[in-house]
């Protein structure tokens, strides 16, 4: 494997987590700073993916209420299972906290990414940051 996955606090990982999210959500997807930095990072558990050369290549977070979000992989590293490893890291953390289930607001174009790990869609499509989303849930 040419990358590694690390659990990090916001306190320790902030610069690298910010760099990935600024590249993917803000510059690539056009999400505003106001929506991206929602004040929930300090209280969340984060996962950071690093290349073997130490570059930050992906991230994700889980809130205390077991809501998973902010999963991002920089474009050059997509399709190499980095996102899957991040999601698995977040699910392992949720299991360690004895969460009965987790949920995610998935961008509709990546529903298959979550379906592969057993997430099931519920409810209608809704807009968040001008991007269509659907709620998905996974029982642990
Ligand atoms: C979604 C994202 C995190 C996936 O990361 P990744 O490392 O490329 O994903 P993986 O390599 O682990 O993909 C595993 C599987 O998920 C599915 N998948 C991944 N990206 C997909 C996409 N864009 N569309 C449809 N299916 C996708 C595929 O089935 C893939 O398996 P395959 O490569 O054998 O076909 C990444 O594309 C990304 O950062 N996108 C921009 C930000 C974003 O949309 N985040 C999700 C917010 S809900």
Tens-digit pLDDT profile for residues 35-72: 999 999 999 999 999 999 999 999 999 999 999 999 99
What's residue 133's pLDDT?
A: 95
Helix, strand, coil shares of the chain as percentages rounded to 5?
35, 35, 30
24 lines ligand 1 (CB under 6 A): yes
Structure tokens at 23: 């590249």
CA of 36 to the centre of ligand 1 (A): 20
Sign of the dihedral defined by the CA atoms of residues 6, 46, 89, 132, in that order: negative
Query: Does any ligand 1 atom lie closer than 6 A to the CB of residue 136?
Result: no
Q: Average model confidence (pLDDT) for the chain?
A: 97
Going by DSSP bridges, is the β-strand pair 45-51/120-128 parallel, antiparallel, or unpaired? unpaired
82 CA distance to ligand 1 centroid (A)?
9
pTM for the complete prediction? 0.96
Domain ranges in the chain are 3-98
pLDDT of residue 106: 96
> According to the model, what pLDDT value does residue 86 have?
98
Indicate if ligand 1 lies below 6 Å from the C-beta of 135: no
Q: For the residues 73-79, what does the mean pLDDT come to?
A: 97
Tell me how far the alpha carbon of residue 113 lies from the centroid of ligand 1, in angstroms.
Answer: 5
Instruction: List the residue whose alpha carbon is closest to atom 28 of ligand 1.
Output: 113
pLDDT average, residue stretch 6-26 = 97
pLDDT digit string, tens, across residues 103-127: 999 999 999 999 999 999 999 999 9
Distance (Å, rounded) from C-alpha 82 to C-alpha 51? 10
φ, ψ for residue 62, nearest 5 deg: -135, 130
Distance, in Å, from the CA atom of 109 to the CA atom of 29, rounded to the nearest integer, reads 13
Centroid of ligand 1 to alpha carbon of 79 (angstroms):
7
- Which single residue is written with the structure tokens 């558990």? 45
Query: Would you list the DSSP string of 57-107?
Result: EEEEEE-TTSEEEEEEE-GGGTTSSHHHHHHHHHHHHHHHTT-SEEEEEEE
Q: Which CATH class is domain 3-98?
A: alpha beta
Give the pLDDT score at 129: 86
């Amino acid at each position: 494997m040419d990358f590694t996955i690390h659990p990090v606090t916001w306190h320790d990982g902030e610069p690298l987590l910010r760099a990935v999210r600024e590249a993917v959500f803000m510059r690539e997807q056009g999400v505003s700073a106001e929506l991206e930095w929602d004040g929930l990072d300090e209280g969340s558990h984060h996962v950071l993916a690093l290349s073997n050369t130490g570059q930050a290549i992906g991230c994700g977070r889980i809130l205390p209420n077991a809501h998973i979000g902010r999963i991002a992989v920089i474009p050059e590293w997509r399709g190499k299972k980095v996102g899957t490893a991040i999601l698995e890291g977040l699910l392992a953390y949720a299991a360690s906290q004895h969460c009965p289930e987790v949920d995610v607001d998935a961008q509709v174009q990546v529903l298959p990414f979550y379906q592969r790990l057993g997430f099931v869609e519920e409810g209608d499509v809704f807009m968040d940051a001008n991007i269509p989303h659907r709620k998905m849930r996974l029982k642990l």
